[in-house]
Amino acid sequence: MNDEFDNKVIMGPEYYDIGEPKKPVVYFTGKPEFMGVRASVYAIDHPTEGTCQIVTSRVVEKVSDTEFHTLNTIYRRITAYEDWIENERFGD
């Protein structure tokens, strides 16, 4: 079942209307490493790869230091997760 609200569709991971087809949003930690037309990131809950280091499809737009879009996916940096990991590691 899909619930639509202001062009946003929820189907498991987040999906947004950006052209066709809808693109999933994948969160990542750290800084993306751009390698030519692709990027490498540590993805959190990628729809097909899970949580691991991945190399993306072609990057088509760099929105900011914390977000970029590929042919298939929207990638967003998740700082809250990084903060949680740091607090767990050092007990802050």
Range of the domain at 30: 25-90
Please give the pLDDT value at position 81: 61
Please report, for the chain, how many H helices and E strands are present, in that order: 1, 9
Q: How far apart, in whole angstroms, are the C-alpha atoms of residue 67 and residue 18? A: 14
Whole-structure pTM value:
0.67
Please give the pLDDT value at position 9: 36
pLDDT digits (tens), the chain, 92 positions: 344 434 433 334 455 555 556 889 999 999 999 999 999 999 988 999 999 999 999 999 999 989 999 999 999 998 766 666 666 665 55
Identify the residue whose tokens are 């590691």. Answer: 89
Phi-psi domain of 36 (left: phi exceeds 0; alpha: psi -120 through 50; beta: other): left
Q: Is residue 43 part of a domain?
A: yes
Whether 75 and 67 have beta carbons less than 8 Å apart is answered as yes
* Count of the separate structural domains present in the chain: 1
